Amino acid sequence: MKVSSKIILGFLVLMVLAIIVVINQLSAIHQIRSANQDLSEINVKSATIVQEMQKSIDLLGDDSRKYFVVNDPLQYEQQIALLREEFVDHVARLRLNVKSPREEAELANLEQALNDFWAVFNRLKKQKQTWADDPPDLTVAVNHLDKQAEIMLDAVQGAIKDRVAAASQIATRAEHLSWTAGIFAFSLGIIVAWLIVRSINDPLRRLTQGTRAIAKGQFWHRLPARGNDEFAELARDFNVMTARLGELDQMKKDFVSHVSHDLKAPLASIRQIMHLLLQQIPGTLNEQQKSLIQLSYNSAERLASMVGNLLDVSRMEAGTMEYQMKALDIIPVINGVIDEFDVQTREKGIRLRLQCDQPSVFVECDRERIVQVLGNLYENALKFSPNASEVVTRVGYGIRQEVMISVCDSGPGVPDDHKERIFEKFHQVKSGKKVAGQGVGLGLAICKTIVKAHRGEIWVEDNPQGGSVFSFLLQPATREEVVTCGQSA
């Protein structure tokens, strides 16, 4: 599914949920309104009718008593008939409004009480007797009718209470349904939003990791290309691009490795010939000839150093660089490297000095590779330090008791934005004119690889006296290794 389709589908789901919640709310409101309408139109009307019936009963009782007490009952007989018809009409109207079984039962009892009253009235009427006081049977019938009207009113009021309770239950149920629907819609909305965000965020995160891996030179990195959306298409194109970059990178590595290897033999011959000429084995040389040959020999040495660095880089990238770790006293190693640079230091009037508080400091390392690290650091220090200056090598301990070796020069220093990048391949600090014999920017990259292989770190910082301080850490040798080293010596 396309990303745009996922987003549209997610919004549609959220809209449907919102519509469902709105419909549920409207249904609840309609139910409550219907209940309120019943209360206002039916139950209240029923109570009014019962109250009118009670007034009719009072009039009916008074007129009935007067009918049997006075000498001229005809004037009350017509009123009694009208009141009875009015009462019957009230009963009919009330029957249209009653809803509950209790109301229907009490209405039937009320109608029966009216019939009983009318039967008693007709029976007494046939007797054609004048009573000095209210007839007992009539009094009982009227009281029964009045009592039944009160019971009917109570039933109507009870129905009103039942309607109120039912409306309250409907409101409570509607509230619960609203909360349930709202929580369900909110939860489902979060799930839908999370799924949409994850379907977009995960491919973006993998693409970000892939681009970072490619930036680090990991051209073997591939992205999962499942599905048919835009991210899957992008992942497939990314994989094609990285495969092509990997092929080009491998071609470059093979080219550099083969060319460097092919240059090594003729360079060795050139250096050997120049060395023989400088020793004047073929014949004597004048000073001008000796100077020219010396310049050629120095150029061949620099070229050989570059070729050697290229070969080292090729071995490092191929993972074939070998290390022979053993316990060594680093002090003699440093002094040996300093002696190798004696000629160069005398030419520029620079002094190489070792500073250490202890006569011996044992580390676990590959001697030849550490000599290579020190040689690269000294070459940089001699290239950039001014004449008649001093390069100091300090040997001490780091925070976790690692052996820390620092080379301090008096050169122009390294800008802050280059302090990390100078350890990358082919990176050089551009500070005006190019320094003679500056190289191609592989020495520090090789140093970093070697030091990392020794489980150490290398970095550069500013020298308080001016210049730079290149420091690297080595793991100290264990006591058993030191003892073994001393016995073998």
CATH number at residue 260: 1.10.287.130
Report d(CA 71, CA 454) in Å as an integer.
Answer: 138
Nearest Cα to 228, choosing from 480, 1, 484?
Answer: 1
Q: What does the pLDDT look like over 177-229, one tens digit per residue?
A: 777 877 887 787 788 778 877 777 788 888 888 888 888 777 778 888 777 77
**430 or 270, which is more confident:** 270
Q: Is the pLDDT of residue 412 over 70?
A: yes
Per-residue model confidence (pLDDT) at position 395:
92
Nearest Cα to 305, choosing from 336, 269, 268, 343?
Answer: 268
Look up the domain containing 431 and give its range: 322-488
Q: Is 309 within the bounds of a domain?
A: yes
- pTM, to two decimals: 0.48
In a shared domain, residues 338 and 403: yes
CA 183 to chain CA centroid, nearest Å: 23
Q: What does the pLDDT look like over 262-298, one tens digit per residue?
A: 666 676 777 777 777 777 787 787 888 878 877 787 7
Q: Is the pLDDT of residue 21 over 60?
A: yes
In a shared domain, residues 13 and 123: yes
Q: Is 235 within the bounds of a domain?
A: no
Per-residue model confidence (pLDDT) at position 474:
93
Give the C-alpha distances (Å, rounded to integers) separating 381 from 213, 355, 386, 414, 446.
33, 16, 9, 12, 16
| The last residue of a domain, from among 162, 196, 230 | 196
Strand order in the sheet with 468-474: 351-356, 390-397, 403-408, 468-474, 458-462
CATH number at residue 467: 3.30.565.10
**336 or 270, which is more confident:** 336
Per-residue model confidence (pLDDT) at position 71:
54
Q: Is 402 within the bounds of a domain?
A: yes
Report d(CA 453, CA 405) in Å as an integer.
Answer: 16
Q: What does the pLDDT look like over 116-165, one tens digit per residue?
A: 888 887 887 777 766 666 778 878 888 888 888 888 888 877 877 777 77
Q: Is 174 within the bounds of a domain?
A: yes
Per-residue model confidence (pLDDT) at position 313:
66
CATH number at residue 168: 1.20.120
| The last residue of a domain, from among 316, 332, 352 | 316
In a shared domain, residues 415 and 310: no
Q: Is 339 within the bounds of a domain?
A: yes
In a shared domain, residues 297 and 327: no
Number of compact structural domains in the chain: 3
For the chain, the first-to-last Cα distance in angstroms comes to 72
